Structure 1
Amino acid sequence: MTVLLRRDDLHASVSDPESASMNFLNEVAARFPAAISLAAGRPYDGFHTTDDLDRYLRGYLAHLEALGLSHEQRQRQLLQYGRTNGHLGALIARMLLVDEGIEVPEQAVMVTSGCQEAMVVALRGLCARPGDVVLAVEPCYVGLTGAARVLGVEVVPVPESAEGLDPDTVPAVVAAVRASGRRPRALYLVPNFANPSGASMPVAARHRLLEVAAECDLLLLEDDPYGLFGLDDEPRPTLKALDTGERVVYLGSFAKSCFPGARVGFLVADQTVVDAVGRRTLLAEELSAVKSLLTVNTSPVAQAVIGGFLVESGCSVRAAGKEKTAFYRRNLRTLLGALETSFGGDPRVHWNTPAGGFFAVLDVPLTADEALLETSGRDYGVLWTPMSFFYGFDGRGPGGGGRRQIRLSCSALPPEDIGEGVRRLAQLVGDRAEEER
């Protein structure tokens, strides 16, 4: 007899509503390929070609040769298993110093298979006992909540304001978690132009959050994929750059600054770990045991591609990304202008005005759910993301928040498509809002 497995016997992450939501988005996009997608948060396709791969690889090999590695050593570094934490630590540490003013030793850097692996490694390493939980700003990027679900780690929400996380809301959440017998291990947030909300924390709030983290004995998991893409050149220091007490574990990615196909991210964990006999190591070195059981090591070939990109840019992704920054600035301004043109006369519709990044949030006078998205793709030729997908990770399920909100992304489109996409969306909202009256 053919084996039949009960879905109820599989891990909860298999049927997790957030995972199903992301799969649904992919399925809708595949069914309506001609629709304009204001849903996709990926980088614009036009910045790189496959010709760059060869150039970056050759540039990195030349860099290794300049460091004194023999031909055999260079071959082995790219073609064999490698060091668990990777071989880009020195280049990434230099990039962080040049671009962000973050000074850490290369031993504090772990190169990961995308930032998603960095999240898994950090959560698994920090949440060691039953009752260990992680706090996260809500609405929250589903990669973090999904990783926690796979690991069986509970995520406790901390509500986000229009200006990002309010640090003074954190102590009450921490106190409630501890009063219930659980142990809060870290707080996850995206301080710069967050996904999905687009919100960004003021500098004063960043300083205050570091004070609160120390008062609450809490680590901060800072995810910073969009920090390069502000609408202006106003300094927005990362939490890690302001961190004098080693409270921040910094999560980074080359998906937006280079290209996602390389699947290279990184984790910076310079916290000191002391064992039972007093031996001291860095947290990144301890976490290598977790990574070794996940992916053994990040692809050395992929690392070499990113290494060549870093060498070519002089370890300044900010300088190398000026064209990208200008493009994303133009796209975000185009999106905000299109919202004003198409919705500005409708008092029932509101939206935020992010200071950078890829995303904006639209409040609409109707339920923005999967059924409406299906109608939108089929009948109006435009796709978007229900904000409800980013809520409810504390067990409240669908309807926990964002039911009348839409996330709009402007990163993957040529500017001329953004206005048309918003016009189609306005037609949908106008038609359906009238029907629901």
Structure 2
Amino acid sequence: MVEIARAELHVSVSDPVASSMNFLNEVAGRHPRAISLAAGRPYDGFYSVDDIAGYQQSYVDYLLAGGLSWDRVPGMLLQYGRTNGQLGELISRMLEIDENIVVSPESVMVTAGCQEAMIIVLRALCSDPDDVVLAVEPCYVGLTGAARILGVDAVPVPESIGGVDPETVAEVARRVRAAGKRPRALYLVPNFSNPSGASLPTATRRRLLDVAAEQDLLLLEDDPYGLFGTDDEPRPTLKSLDTGGRVIYLGSFAKSCFPGARVGFLVADQIVVDRAGRRTLLADEMSAIKSMLTVNTSPIAQAVIGGILVESDCSLRTANRDKIAFYRNNLRVLLASLDEHFPQPDRDERGVRWNVPGGGFFVVVDVPFRADEKLLERSAEQFGVLWTPMSFFYADGGHQSIRLSCSYLEADRLAEGVRRLSQLVAATV
């Protein structure tokens, strides 16, 4: 058999972040009884296989009501389709209703999950070896992994407790230019970020848009958790505040609908001008990249998501009322359990502290020891609890912090997981 030297394969094959996430899955597989405070996936109880056919039928009914003849329906669902997808109109209506984002359907590209959207945007924007993307750190591993696959440098912009500081963004952009590189865009999750849970105040969002204009940056706004605040306070997206075309909006239906559909989208309404002066939408230009990646997003999967949008009158906030209530309660239970099992003053004496996010799925806990893969293995084997080392989300850092997720479990299991975590901490300090 042919043998291939691993060193001759692309660096993304041995990406330490990907290897770390694989390790996390392996530990979970070896210890199936361990309570997982690591999994950031949605709660299974909201999904039923029986719903799929109903959603598809709702979408078919929508097509027929819109004037499509029955003989064309099979082609819409079972054939290759438009590269940028067929849900543009429904998604644009959803964005206007839920997020006050007004964009044309033509500026929407439906992708095979948000991960594909990241790859398409990075590939389109970073055309030169000296082009780099800035990324708020700690950073979602999907973005750094996509950059690694494409050979694009992801330059970290350190995040503070309150989220990224726009002046720090400007400072990093200037430093990158001084080193002979061109910063093309900044990637961030402004609402309840994964992994930190941080959320930007409105004033910071406005200042960030100003800095983007000053530094000639595009902003890649990823917003998978915006629906899931612990209150109903409006948190305007960067895209809704954007008057200068600086924001490319990345969306996902994984948390608001279900992950198995693998449907995401991007909104790129920037104008592209060629040498002859012809003007097109960036979303249209990027379709050439998508056509070489996945040809098009599964029309069957799009029909399922389309049916959910039709049934909810294009308001995912309305469709997700039960999920919003569930995740709000779970976050409160997680925080209350931390208070219970790490009480004052013992907490300070041990050097344990955590943030209090205003929503989302994640809480970061600082601990007075190195939280690495070796400790995670011990945690699973001896104490029956899993968590995610924060070092997975840094180029170099986060070694004494862990990420806890509150999305996947019911409240009593969350509380038990925190109790087990407190036993690990007591035995390790």
Instruction: Indicate the TM-score class for this superposition, using the shorter chain for normalisation.
Output: over 0.9
Deviation at 1:172, TM superposition (A): 1.1
Aligned position for 1:202: 201
TM-score, length basis structure 2: 0.99
**Helix, strand or coil: the match of 2:159?**
strand
Q: Distance in 2 between matches of 1:309 and 1:231?
A: 24
**Helix, strand or coil: the match of 1:293?**
helix
Identity of aligned residues (%): 68
Whether 1:355 aligns to 2:354 is no
Whether 1:18 aligns to 2:27 is no
Equivalent in 412, 415, 426 of residue 419 of structure 1: 415
Q: Distance in 1 between matches of 2:278 and 2:93?
A: 27
Q: Distance in 2 between matches of 1:269 and 1:424?
A: 45
Query: Which amino acid in the other structure matches residue 370 of structure 1?
Result: E
Aligned position for 2:378: 375
- Deviation track 1:141-160 (CA, whole Å, cap 9, x = no partner) reads 00000000000000000000
Query: Which amino acid in the other structure matches residue 427 of structure 2?
Result: D
Aligned position for 2:257: 258
Runs of 4+ in 1 over 4 A off after TM superposition: none
Q: Distance in 1 between matches of 2:343 and 2:23?
A: 31
Name the stretch that deviates more: 118-127 or 68-77: 68-77
Q: Distance in 1 between matches of 2:114 and 2:380?
A: 30
Deviation at 1:344, TM superposition (A): 2.1
Aligned position for 2:95: 96
Q: Distance in 2 between matches of 1:255 and 1:366?
A: 34
Aligned position for 1:8: 7
- Deviation track 1:22-80 (CA, whole Å, cap 9, x = no partner) reads 10111111111111000000000001100110110000000000011111211100000
Q: Distance in 2 between matches of 1:430 and 1:40?
A: 23
- Deviation track 1:321-340 (CA, whole Å, cap 9, x = no partner) reads 11100000000000000000
Whether 1:322 aligns to 2:321 is yes
Deviation at 1:180, TM superposition (A): 1.0
**Helix, strand or coil: the match of 1:311?**
helix
Whether 1:53 aligns to 2:56 is no
**Helix, strand or coil: the match of 1:255?**
coil
Deviation at 1:7, TM superposition (A): 0.4
Aligned position for 1:365: 368
- Deviation track 1:197-247 (CA, whole Å, cap 9, x = no partner) reads 000001100000000000111000000000000000111000000000010
Deviation at 1:381, TM superposition (A): 0.5
Aligned position for 2:389: 386
Deviation at 1:13, TM superposition (A): 0.4
Aligned position for 1:241: 240
- Deviation track 1:124-176 (CA, whole Å, cap 9, x = no partner) reads 00000111000000000000000000000000000001111111111111111
**Helix, strand or coil: the match of 1:164?**
coil
Q: How does 1:102-141 map to 2 (within 5 A)?
A: 102-141=101-140
Equivalent in 400, 404, 412 of residue 400 of structure 2: 404
Alpha carbon RMSD of aligned pairs, Å? 0.5
- Deviation track 1:248-301 (CA, whole Å, cap 9, x = no partner) reads 000000000000000000000000000010000000000000000000000000
Query: Which amino acid in the other structure matches residue 428 of structure 1?
Result: L
Q: Distance in 2 between matches of 1:373 and 1:410?
A: 18
Q: How does 1:299-310 map to 2 (within 5 A)?
A: 299-310=298-309
**Helix, strand or coil: the match of 2:330?**
helix
Aligned position for 2:267: 268
**Helix, strand or coil: the match of 1:220?**
strand
Name the stretch that deviates more: 341-350 or 207-216: 341-350
Q: Distance in 2 between matches of 1:252 and 1:223?
A: 6
Q: Distance in 2 between matches of 1:94 and 1:8?
A: 48
Whether 1:297 aligns to 2:296 is yes
Aligned position for 2:27: 28
Query: Which amino acid in the other structure matches residue 382 of structure 1?
Result: V
**Helix, strand or coil: the match of 1:144?**
helix
TM-score, length basis structure 1: 0.97
How many corresponding residue pairs?
425
Deviation at 1:366, TM superposition (A): 0.9
Whether 1:143 aligns to 2:146 is no
Whether 1:77 aligns to 2:76 is yes
**Helix, strand or coil: the match of 1:186?**
strand
Aligned position for 2:164: 165
Q: Which runs of 5+ in 1 are unaligned?
A: 393-399
Query: Which amino acid in the other structure matches residue 360 of structure 2?
Result: G
**Helix, strand or coil: the match of 1:221?**
strand
Q: Distance in 2 between matches of 1:281 and 1:194?
A: 32
Q: Distance in 1 between matches of 2:255 and 2:171?
A: 35
